[in-house]
Amino acid sequence: MERRKFIRNGFLTGASVMTGAVSFSRNNSGAAPAASNPFHLNYAIHDGMFKQQAGDDFLDQIRWAYDQGFRSIEDNGMMSRPAAQQKKIGDLLAALGMQMGVFVITSDSWHWKTSLTTGKEEWVDKMIRDCQQAVEVAKRCNAKWMTVVPGNYERSLPAEIQTANVITALRKGAAILEPHGLVMVLEALSDNADLFLRHTDQAYMICKAVNSPACKFLFDMYHMQRNEGNIIANIDKVWEETGYFQIGDNPGRKEPGTGEMNYRNIFKHIYEKGYKGILGMEHGISQPGKDGEMALINAYRQADSFL
């Protein structure tokens, strides 16, 4: 039987036999999935993370990940998917009782070119249009959070003027999202020195200035380890403005346990602070093939074993 149909049929059979539960079909490693044993924290997979096990179809990957104990997804490119596919993803998440994590509010250059820092109306207008479109996308896929990156430094302007320009644009975006209960989360990045938003204190200050529940900080721990370190202490400092976390070990941006970061202690700290949100698995896999995907799951089980 074609693998995609096998996975789908296995899911439907289990759902019909066990109300509110899932089947315990075995994975290719011979280990029983942990469908009734979700993780202590809510880790979100992304498209392609389990394609060796479940195939190329993201819907099948979601079903397979659910059987492993994962309860959320995130998808940076959700806004570029056809509307029908967005709805299929949202409907499947609702049927499984899973959550949708972040997708990126796109613009012509959401990451790399000078944008909101300039104060130019063309960029503010793009931000407004993207937020309006994001509202409709969020309805289809049952999303609440969406990633925003202000863009690069505008070298011709003082840093304070750039900051004011970013705050002004984000307030306009927040005004669109807030009535719908949606939240844009600002991501500070480490990819290159031209990026405007790079540090936790900077993001915290901007969120305070925007002063809206629709604007919070996306604490990507991989980027912040590269830019400033001191992860646990900085989590505490910016806690009240943090709406979302993302994961990646450093160096390498792979799963926990492959670099210098003690994710077991970090996860324990986040859990003990009472965090109930999503932690996105925005990283690669250190080993190839099906064995690599199972090693990734085992790495999360180990890092999540803090109780």
Domain boundaries, position 70: 3-21+30-303
Question: 91: pLDDT confidence band, cut at 50, 70 and 90?
Answer: very high
Tell me how far apart the alpha carbons of residues 107 and 97 are, in angstroms, rounded to a whole number.
31
Domain containing residue 128: CATH number: 3.20.20.150
Half-sphere exposure of 102 (CA within 13 A, CB side): 29
For the chain, what percent of residues have pLDDT higher than 70?
86
pLDDT of residue 5: 41
What tokens does 151 get?
A: 């863009």
**Domain count along the chain:** 1
State mean pLDDT over 281-293: 98
How far is the C-alpha of 137 from the C-alpha of 182, rounded, in Å?
11
| pLDDT tens per residue, range 109-132 | 445 566 899 999 999 999 999 999
Q: What is the pLDDT of residues 158-185, one digit of tens each?
A: 999 999 999 999 999 999 999 999 999 9
Report whether 175 contacts 210 (CB < 8 A). no
- The yes-or-no verdict on residue 50 having pLDDT over 60 is yes
CA gap 17, 40 in Å, rounded? 26
**Range name among 8-12, 62-66, 242-246 with the lowest pLDDT average:** 8-12
- Angle, to 10 degrees, between the axis of helix 200-210 and the axis of helix 159-177? 50
DSSP states of 70-104: --EE--TTGGGS-HHHHHHHHHHHHHHT-EE--EE
CB 195 within 8 A of CB 152: yes
Q: Phi/psi at 215 (nearest 5 deg)?
A: -135, 110
pLDDT for 112 equals 56
Peptide bond into 179 cis (omega under 30): no
Whose CA is closest to 288, among 47, 52, 43, 67? Answer: 52
126 touches 149 (CB < 8 A): no
